[in-house]
Structure 1
């Protein structure tokens, strides 16, 4: 049974039982009224509905029964009608100021008591909580956004109406991908997105990209996470063959319907390792390659000064991520935001944040692919590393000679717009022993700066040598730190390069022994 069918069945039981007060939490008023119209027609009982634009009318026939458009007037009219007739249902769509003990809430409670005496029902459609005493007089319901199956039906209904008029290239698989992408938005939002595509006079395979980014515009003003704009043209990641192969395998599963198999979509990866080796760049590249919007969750901004504030902010941020799914959620240096778990210095806030994040990571069914990065592995909470949290834990090591060659070629092609001679490239690979990806970028950047300031003719082999030899990498300033990180990774992580951790250093040592 779908969520909508279950909602409709429960609402029918409530009205048959003549529950005096029913609060329906939903932002889709028209969809709720449509369901109420079906239920009221089946029960063959009078149903009135009040709106600020039309006053009080019969729900089925739309005949006016009270021209007073104010909420107070509608509540007073309902009170009169409950005193005169049985089995009446009154729907209020614009009631405000009933979240707390207010005169409006008490006035409505009086009417509900009168409805209870005469087998009547008051239904309130709202997006806010209801005063406890009023809510205890009845029952509450929540109408969730359309499920994937329901969204598929909405998409097909809208497309089928135009198939004879416009060329529509989408097949069944495309429609299902669109339904997975739009799951979580309201029906009217989905209809607006499809209508926008149809306004072009045709729907093509390429329009799927527009569907994937539609939620980004709908939820653009929701706080909690930051939208990151990525340019795919500048996001080539050198090396990391093992990580890339794993991602290629997992990508189709992110939007596939896996419910019959009883498994959930990919949840994400935790990237740990040597600083400056492409962990953050990988998050951007994944979003660009998969055609998904990228959002960044900065855990350092989550912490508040009041008790419970940090937890509330994290909950809102993760809820926002669920709404904008499918997407990639990038959590940079996650150890800094969750550091201190298990200690008492922060009153247990860090421990609660870890628990809340892990619960969401394990239980949320939204198609959010998390890419978390960490440099200081000693500060990672042990709970975060348990199998089943992330789909995989990758260790990003210093690039091997082959990876350095690829990275240098990418940066030189991008900045100088020309290929480096093979012999010079071999020399740069040798000079860059122990360089991280960021070190290689910095060295090439010096050459590009000189080319921009003094002209491309100054780019010589000597300029490359000087730029590379003047840079001192972290592996030489803090070798103990690098080896400590590697020792941790060997026992706990999968090498992102596809080669054993520390292979770059071993290859260099072996080559030097041969040359000696």
Structure 2
């Protein structure tokens, strides 16, 4: 484990103060004690604000509710006694002048004696005057191997056998949860279902939803849409189908890197948002939607902090899908923003993360207007692929009508003249086709009779599609797509 090797190196090199950021206090203390006992001959002194020092009879309860006194024990111990001081939640006191001064004073002692202070906190808060003294060490959430061990232990204790595929799906669903949360959720699953099966995945994902609900930037989206609900888009569907199992252990063993993301461009109503939801459902991954409006805060530095929080949550929940709707409105291609460069800094950080991220976070971004998109986002390497979703062609419109009529009229959809409806709906998007069916149903319901093909035809004739209102933008998009700079989501070529 990278954490244990780094910690051992820091201790041997006599780093004076180590700061470990984690929410798994008990687990990190267990790992530290286990490795110190095995590899290093050091006594461990554990302190917290309420109980003072514990686990050592000579100093039991010392320095209760007194963080300054907790540091004095470091000086009192014999200079030749190798010691490790675990100070829990001590980051809360670092801004206190007396604590900060005391740490700087005893840092000279720590460099000469085999003693190290380890601060354990859930948040990273280090005053400037202590930044040179403190070394930050990240403590990761349970990795795949640890989750496998925990699941195996539980299944063996309950004498439950499950298929290898379900075991892998459970492992993937547990990633992003602390070991304590995993144990708690598995106990809930056993209490609910008396066993571990396919239903367990849903409960694990709902636990991830609890984590996401603690932030106002991301929204956990429950999805029921299926890839089969998308009319047309054969190229896009084929691309997605080949990457459906790319997050599996087999793909990793094969040497495949996990997919990075997808940028979908097209006018409103062509199925971009529906595609994002369908991918999450088909790949069985949690879908997180970024509220770009809440990303930009009014306080200087707040927007950058929120972006880092968003990235941290997404990577914690991974593997997952991060959906950024209408990214063109968030990062417009203009320098005259009047926001002191905040948008540019956010864009730079976001693009850097897109290019360098190692966690399995699949980013799906949608955009309507290419003119507003910065070239840095469109450039290859940010996303695996950029697809253009054009207005549906005749056969695609037939498929879309069929899908929606089967939804609204499952018993009588065959009685509708789908070919005629498709011919009348030229320049209509998928969303507009659906709305025309609804308009026809309203008319028939008002007249207290069953909806017919003619009702929908009348609605189509009265409907003004968005493509007609924004014909210049639509033509520009189609010309750009036909130039070969972007991949077509539909198999049929575009003729302008």
TM over 0.5: yes
Match of residue 226, structure 1, among 208, 219, 224: 219
- 1:449 alignment partner, one of 430, 442, 451: 442
Question: Which shifted more, 12-21 or 41-50?
Answer: 12-21
Q: Name which of 66, 70, 75 aligns with 1:75.
A: 70
Structure 1 residues 376 and 45: CA distance shift in structure 2, 3 A: closer
> 1:359/1:257 Cα in 2 relative to 1: closer, same or farther (>3 Å)?
farther
Q: Which residue of 2 aligns with 1:489?
A: 481
Matches within 5 A, 1:278-357: 278-342=271-335, 346-357=339-350
Relative distance call for 1:85 and 1:500 in structure 2 (3 A) is same
Partner of 2:82: 87
Counterpart contact for 2:216–2:294, Cα < 8 Å: no
Name the residue aligned to 2:455. 463
Between 341-350 and 270-279, report the one with greater CA deviation: 341-350
From the superposition, tell whether residues 100 and 464 of structure 1 become closer, same or farther in structure 2 (CA, over 3 Å): same
Q: Deviations over 1:100-152 (max 9, x none)?
A: 25223334444555555654333222233333444534544222222223333
* The 10-residue stretch of structure 1 (300-309 or 443-452) with the greater mean CA deviation from structure 2: 300-309
Q: TM-score, normalised by structure 2?
A: 0.88
- Aligned in 2, Cα 1:425/1:176: closer, same or farther, shift over 3 Å? closer
Are 2:139 and 1:143 equivalent residues in the alignment?
A: yes
CA contact (8 A) 2:323 2:363 kept: yes
Quick one: distance in 1 between partners of 2:120 and 2:95?
16
Equivalence for 2:359: 366
Return the offset for 1:380: 1.6
Q: Is residue 327–residue 367 contact of structure 1 (8 Å, CA) maintained in 2? A: yes
Structure 1 residue 404 and structure 2 residue 397: aligned?
yes
CA distance in structure 1 between the aligned counterparts of 2:472 and 2:210, rounded to whole angstroms: 47
- Structure 1 residue runs of 5 or longer lacking an equivalent are 506-516
TM, length-normalised to structure 1: 0.85
Aligned equivalents of 2:69, 2:46: Cα separation in 1: 9
List gaps (5 residues or longer) in structure 2.
none
Deviations 1:71-99 (A, max 9, x none): 44851661563257632333222425333
Q: Deviations over 1:13-68 (max 9, x none)?
A: 4434544433322222112211221233233332222235654233xxx6463234
Partners of 1:259 and 1:461 in 2: how far apart? 51
- For residue 381 of structure 1, the aligned residue among 351, 374, 380 is 374
Residue 120 of structure 1: aligned partner: 115
- CA contact 1:242–1:495 (8 Å) conserved in 2: yes
> Which residue number corresponds to residue 9 of structure 1?
5
Partner Cα separation in structure 1 for residue 401 and residue 240 of structure 2:
23
Q: Distance in 1 between matches of 2:437 and 2:245?
A: 36
**Which aligned pairs between 1:187-202 and structure 2 lie closer than 5 A?**
187-199=179-191, 200-202=193-195
Shift in alpha-carbon separation, 1:121–1:347, aligned structure 2, 3 A:
closer
Task: State the distance in 2 between where 1:208 and 1:170 align.
Answer: 14
User: Aligned partners of 1:328, 1:380: CA distance in 2, in Å?
Assistant: 21
Classify 1:110/1:66 alpha carbon distance in 2 versus 1 (closer, same or farther; 3 Å): farther
CA deviations over 1:254-304 (Å, ceiling 9, x no partner) = 344555555421122111123321112211222223332222213233234
Residue 90 to residue 376, structure 1, CA distance change in 2 (3 Å): closer
Cα distance in 1, alignment partners of residues 17 and 302 from structure 2: 33
Change (3 A) 1:311 1:109: closer
Contact residue 271 and residue 279 of structure 1 kept, 8 A:
yes
Does the 8 Å contact 1:395/1:489 carry over to 2?
Answer: yes
Q: Is the CA contact 1:82–1:118 (under 8 Å) kept in the aligned structure 2? A: no
SS of equivalent to 1:106: helix
State the Cα deviation string for residues 428-455 of structure 1 (Å, max 9, x = none): 1221122111221121111222344443
What is the alpha-carbon distance in structure 1 between the residues aligned to residue 284 and residue 259 of structure 2? 16
Larger radius of gyration: 1
C-alpha distance in 2, partners of 1:290/1:272?
Answer: 21
Counterpart Cα distance in 2 of 1:479 and 1:19: 65
SS at match of 2:86: strand
Per the TM alignment, residue 240 of structure 1 is displaced from its structure 2 partner at its CA by 1.6
Is the 2:15–2:116 contact (alpha carbons within 8 Å) kept by the matching residues of 1?
Answer: yes
Moved more, 104-113 or 289-298: 104-113
The residue that corresponds to 2:47 in the other structure is: 50
Mapped contact 1:334–1:373 kept (Cα < 8 A): yes
Q: Which residue is 1:154 aligned to?
A: 150
> Are the counterparts in 2 of residues 332 and 374 from structure 1 also a CA contact under 8 Å?
yes
**Which deviates more, 438-447 or 420-429?**
420-429
User: Post-superposition shift, 1:458?
Assistant: 4.4
Distance (Å, rounded) in 2 between the aligned partners of 1:484 and 1:268: 25
Instruction: Show the counterpart of 1:99.
Output: 94
- Deviation digits for residues 173-194 of structure 1 (CA, Å, limit 9, x no counterpart): 4333333333333222222233
Secondary structure, aligned partner of 1:204: coil
Q: Does 1:268 align with 2:261?
A: yes
Partner of 2:26: 30
Per-residue CA deviations over 1:222-270 (Å, capped at 9, x if unaligned) read 2321222334489922222221121111110034455555542112211
Relative distance call for 1:44 and 1:407 in structure 2 (3 A) is same
- Structure 1 residues 421 and 63 mapped into 2: Cα distance closer, same or farther (>3 Å)? same
Task: Name 2:407's counterpart in structure 1.
Answer: 414
Map Cα deviations across residues 463-513 of structure 1 (whole Å, 9 max, x no partner): 2321121112234444343222100111222221221124xx8xxxxxxxx
